[in-house]
Amino acid sequence: MKHVRSIEELGVDGIVRILKVAEHMAEVNRRPVPKVPALVGKTVVSLFFEDSTRTRISFETAARRLSADTMTFSVSTSSVNKGESLRDTVETVSAMGVAAFVVRHKSSGVPWQMANWTDASIVNAGDGWHQHPTQALLDCHSIIGAFGIEPTPSCLRGLTITIVGDVRHSRVARSDIEAFTALGATVRLVGPRTLMPPDATPWGVEITDDFDATLRDSDVVYMLRMQRERMNEALVPHLGEYSTRFGLDAVRAARMKDGAVVMHPGPMNRGVEMMIDPSELPRSLVTNQVASGVSVRMAVLFDVLGGQEVAS
Amino acid sequence: MSLLIRGGRIIDSTSTDDEGRTADVLVDGDRIVQVLDAGSEVRADDVLDATGCVVSPGFVDLHVHLREPGREESETIETGSRAAARGGFTAVVAMPNTEPPHDSRVVVDFVRDQGRRAGLCEVVPSGCITVGRAGQTLAPFAELREAGVRFFTDDGNGVQDAQLMRRALEYAGQLGLTLAQHCEVASLTHGAVMHEGACCSRLGLPGWPSLAEELMVHRDIELCRLTGSPVHFLHLSTERSVDMVRVAKAEGLPVTAEAAPHHFTLTDEALSGFDPTFKVNPPLRTPADIAALKRGLADGTIDAIATDHAPHAPHLKELPLDQAPPGMLGLETALALALTELAMPLRDVVAALSWKPAAIAHLADRHGRPIAAGEPANLTVFDPSATWTIDRGQLASRSRNTPYHGRTVRGRVRHTVFGGRAVVVDGAATK
């Protein structure tokens, strides 16, 4: 695959392919020296127009473990602050000989616009409210790991995954919904209508505002981050009411199905959507998600840069 | 200086069918002096061949952004006039959202004079409804009327305050002026990038709900009823808007409406590739809205095809989608899109491009006139069956933001005669 920009472009075959390679990468990561020469001589540039230390470090770790050279272009120190356009930035950095851009931007669609201006591969590390495909892939990786499932085109069939919170403004939710349903899961969205997309019918997923009613048959409860900035937009009355209706607390955690897992893309808003410490949950995948991130991003970079076989 | 347009089919407001009478049109000075049987022996300084073509009154575009003064990197009155002439337009109504805007006599005089200097079509300045298009205080209607302005709008902004709009209609209506509304309730479209629906939900872009247009259409129909003053609806884009205007017209209210070619040819799915070329305000909508606009044009609910020609320099359309300015080129492709996409009699298409908008813009004394001896020689000669492929590199506009690059269409302007002079000959501007 030339680019990894959205789950839709990746398709179910692409998802499965990457999840399989991620298993190999996880094995590499368990070695005493977690490094292979797959991408020697290739340069991967992180182009982060929006701060995200966690995602950037995860990608850069992944690139280095595959022996790629990495460069970081962060806006605060760049000529973008001197008025350089997106196009000029991409063309300039491209001219240095770049194999792949890892890009994050607050505007939906930037990875598609960039593809007009460079021959390099583009990996989307989050565009606006639109997509965050590597997050969805690492979420799938965490789930199949937790449930002991092999990655196949229908590997999540039989699982009910409940995504709770601000779906409207969430690129994580958009990518997850598409990835989970592509792999056969039953996906449910929980939240007030103000935090749902205007028309979610094409996803074919159930939408409800009754969090409690979803708990007993959810295999995965996926908590989204509730941004405090949303309070200015009259989307919910106040954070307290949001927490009461849609926060995960000890009472709700106790009502979850046996063996069900809790996930969160981070960073958590404690006291808002997470009213309980993840360590007190019966099964939390929050730290597994972070670990999966490196393996999955190694698989993604390997996929787009067509490196040599991973040394076994 | 005489000019003979030879061998075309004449279609004008007196035509009763699409065949038209084949005739030669002799122009002298700025007037038509004679309409002769085809092939008549007559001498003229210049001859334009119109074989296989329609000769119609010049087109009138109620809605163009010429960007001058203030945004000359995107368009000037000269380049926009050239694009207009190539599109068959002999008059264009210049929208007031320039810098400074059309809220004083000095600006509208400047715009009109620049149009005269370019000499490619009549540039008709619109006036602002409110000072600075800020929606706070009424623009000086009488002063602008003195400067020849008859058509007023805050285009780009809707007048949000119902009381202010009521006052504007009361005051301007008494002066015999027409107010044109950009229908958008701003509180519903904050940050909006595209049509609100399934597509924006999937693409993670803030939506511009149809309701934001429809609420203001409804309000202004009722204000029209209350005041009796005429209201023109700019760039209608939704099914319910068309339905409301249809009912209002049936009730005899003095409302008129226009639709832009992009709204009856493209849907919100065009934004799936995140190309800001397809960002426009109001946004591209759904197949059901396209069908409704076509019905509205066919039954006359929508009076005019107006382009909302909105040039933007390339660097502006390379911004991220949410930051890029809305708008697309329209002047040079409007006729072709209408002929290609609308299943309407030719006479009705020409009506929507010529005499109906001429009447709305208070230009009926000199544009959209019948083709007859003594009438002003503002004429368009077009080949309704010529097919061609739109190429953004070949446009006369200073900008390149056409959403139709590479599209093959039918119908092409061959000659444009403005004020008795051939300003476009065989598709090329003569100046």
pLDDT in tens, B382-395: 999 999 999 999 99
- Average pLDDT, integer, range B206-224: 98
* Residue-level pLDDT at A93: 93
On whether both B355 and B377 belong to a single domain, the answer is: no
- The B-side interface with A (CB below 8 A) comprises 193, 196-198, 200-205, 207, 209, 273-276, 315, 318-323
Instruction: Name the residue among A174, A199, A202 with its Cβ closest to that of B204.
Output: A174
Contact between A110 and B274 using a beta-carbon 8 Å cutoff: yes
Contact between A202 and B201 using a beta-carbon 8 Å cutoff: yes
Give me the number of domains chain B comprises: 2
Cα nearest neighbour of A5 on chain B: B273
On whether both B124 and B205 belong to a single domain, the answer is: yes
Report how far residue B63's alpha carbon sits from residue B86's, in angstroms, rounded to the nearest whole number: 16
Contacts of B128 (CB under 8 A, 6+ apart): B96, B101, B102, B103, B139, B152, B153, B154
What ipTM was assigned to the predicted interfaces of this complex?
0.94
Give the start-to-end residue ranges of the domains of chain A: 7-131+293-305, 133-290
On whether both B93 and B173 belong to a single domain, the answer is: yes
Q: Is B12 considered catalytic here? A: no
Structure confidence by residue, pLDDT tens digits, B61-105? 999 999 999 999 999 999 999 999 999 999 999 999 999 999 999
Helices (H) and strands (E) in chain B, counts: 11, 19
* Residue-level pLDDT at A312: 41
Contact between A107 and B207 using a beta-carbon 8 Å cutoff: no
The domain made up of A133-290 has a fold known as Rossmann fold (3.40.50)
On whether both B401 and B298 belong to a single domain, the answer is: no
Q: Closest Cα partner for A174 from A232, A141, A126? A: A126
Of B310, B331, B360, the one marking the end of a domain is B360
Whether B367 maps to a domain, the answer reads no
* Residue-level pLDDT at B403: 98
Cα nearest neighbour of B322 on chain A: A107
User: Which residue(s) pair with B4 in the sheet?
Assistant: B26, B47
Cα nearest neighbour of B277 on chain A: A113
Instruction: Name the residue among A112, A131, A202 with its Cβ closest to that of B273.
Output: A112
On whether both B70 and B187 belong to a single domain, the answer is: yes
Whole-Å CA distances, A38 to A25, A28, A98: 11, 12, 16
Instruction: Name the residue among A85, A109, A199 with its Cβ closest to that of B274.
Output: A109
Instruction: Name the residue among B202, B275, B315 with its Cβ closest to that of A202.
Output: B202
Whether B333 maps to a domain, the answer reads yes
Whether B183 maps to a domain, the answer reads yes
- Average pLDDT, integer, range B285-314: 98
* Residue-level pLDDT at A73: 86
Whether B392 maps to a domain, the answer reads yes
**Cα distance from A112 to chain B (closest Cα, Å)?**
7
On whether both B200 and B262 belong to a single domain, the answer is: yes
Of B307, B330, B360, the one marking the end of a domain is B360
Whether B368 maps to a domain, the answer reads no
Contact between A198 and B197 using a beta-carbon 8 Å cutoff: yes
On whether both B43 and B73 belong to a single domain, the answer is: no
On whether both B202 and B338 belong to a single domain, the answer is: yes
3-state SS of chain A is CCCECCHHHHHHHHHHHHHHHHHHHHHHHCCCCCCCCCCCCCEEEEEECCCCHHHHHHHHHHHHHCCCEEEEEEHHHCHHHHCCCHHHHHHHHHCCCCCEEEEEECCCCHHHHHCCCCCCEEEEEEECCCECHHHHHHHHHHHHHHHCCCCCCCCCCCCEEEEECCCCCCHHHHHHHHHHHHCCCEEEEECCHHHCCCCCHHHCCEEECCHHHHHCCCCEEEECCCCHHHHHHCCCCCHHHHHHHHCECHHHHHHCCCCCEEECCCCCCECCCECCCHHHCCCECHHHHHHHHHHHHHHHHHHHHCCCCCCC
CATH 1.10.760.10 is right for the domain spanning A7-131+293-305: no
Spell out, as residue ranges, where chain A has pLDDT lower than 50. 308-312
* Residue-level pLDDT at A233: 84
Name every chain B residue with its beta carbon within 8 A of the beta carbon of A108: 193, 203-205, 274, 321-322
* Residue-level pLDDT at B1: 87
Contacts of A32 (CB under 8 A, 6+ apart): none
Whether B365 maps to a domain, the answer reads no
Q: Closest Cα partner for B3 from B427, B411, B428, B416? A: B416
Q: Closest Cα partner for A260 from A164, A196, A193, A171? A: A164
Contact between A200 and B315 using a beta-carbon 8 Å cutoff: no
Q: Which range has the worst mean pLDDT, A264-278, B298-312, B342-356, B364-378?
A: A264-278
Residue B180: pLDDT above 90? Answer: yes
Backbone angles phi, psi at A164, to 5 degrees: -115, 125
Domain membership of residue B253 as a residue range: 58-360
Q: For an interface test with A, give the residue of B271, B274, B319 to mutate (most A CBs within 10 A).
A: B274
Cβ-based contacts under 8 A for chains A and B: 68
End-to-end CA distance of chain A: 23
Report how far residue B304's alpha carbon sits from residue B326's, in angstroms, rounded to the nearest whole number: 22
Name every chain A residue with its beta carbon within 8 A of the beta carbon of B200: 197-198
Contacts of A233 (CB under 8 A, 6+ apart): none
On whether both B158 and B38 belong to a single domain, the answer is: no
What single-letter amino acid sits at A8?
Answer: E
Q: Give the burial class of B256: count Cβ atoms within 10 A of its Cβ; 0-12 exposed, 13-18 middle, 19 or more buried.
A: buried
Whether B107 maps to a domain, the answer reads yes
Give the CATH number of the domain where residue B41 resides.
2.30.40.10
Give the CATH number of the domain where residue B234 resides.
3.20.20.140
* Residue-level pLDDT at A81: 67
On whether both B31 and B64 belong to a single domain, the answer is: no
On whether both B312 and B406 belong to a single domain, the answer is: no
On whether both B147 and B89 belong to a single domain, the answer is: yes
- With both helix axes pointing from N to C terminus, report the angle between A286-305 and A7-29 in degrees, rounded to the nearest 10: 110
- The A-side interface with B (CB below 8 A) comprises 85-87, 105, 107-110, 112-113, 127-131, 171, 174, 197-202
Active-site residue, selected from the candidate residues B308, B348, B391, B426: B308
Query: Alpha helices of B147-184 — where are they, by DSSP H?
Result: 162-174
* Residue-level pLDDT at B77: 98
Contact between B198 and A202 using a beta-carbon 8 Å cutoff: yes
* Residue-level pLDDT at A228: 79
Contact between B205 and A112 using a beta-carbon 8 Å cutoff: no
Contact between B203 and A171 using a beta-carbon 8 Å cutoff: no
Whether B106 maps to a domain, the answer reads yes
Of B360, B386, B416, the one marking the end of a domain is B360
